[in-house]
Amino acid sequence: MKNIFTYIVLFIFSCNAGFAQIQKEQLVGTWIFDYPISVANMDAGAKKVYEKNQRLQVGLESSFKNRQLTFDSRGNYLLRLASGKQVPGTWNVNAINGSKLLMSSSKHTENLTVVMLSATSLVLKPINNGKAKPILGTWYFTKVQ
């Protein structure tokens, strides 16, 4: 009985590790932030704040619109902002369940949940670390290459 339980546990961990590997391969490439869809899918409270504050709208648009993320197969990423600024870092998918993405640069670490991943679409949700709730609670990306 103990051996059967051990095999079941090993099988479950093997399946999860395989899922994470598939996600890693699917993430490799360049993704562009879909600003209109991300704004359209804001939660109701955030949308009210956003719609009433022109300055916030301009700030979010200049920060997020045309943002690009490039993930390579070695675990490196490059974030390109519309302003031309580039931020390099490293990334990894949680090997336990494959749905958590960790991105780290020299100045910032971002924990994200992979909500959806296909050949052409990526949806990420920042994990709230107890600080202020992000106005863009879900990030939508389209693969460009």
Residue-wise pLDDT for 26-59, tens only, equals 999 999 999 999 999 999 999 999 999 999 999 9
More confident residue, 6 or 43: 43
What average pLDDT score do residues 93-122 get? 86
Question: Rounded to whole angstroms, how far apart are CA atoms 120 and 26?
Answer: 9
Least confident among 27-31, 34-38, 91-95, 128-132: 128-132
In the numeric block, which tokens belong to residue 34? 């879909």
Is the domain 2-143 a CATH 2.40.128.280 member? Answer: yes
Q: What angle do CA 70, 140, 119 make, to 5 degrees?
A: 60
Helices 44-52, 54-64: axis angle to 10 degrees equals 110
Q: Show me where the domains of the chain are located.
A: 2-143
| Among 131, 127, 95, CA closest to 113 | 127
Position 134 confidence tier, pLDDT thresholds 50, 70, 90: confident
Q: What is the pLDDT of residue 95?
A: 56
Q: How many Cβ atoms are within 10 Å of 38's Cβ, its own excluded?
A: 20
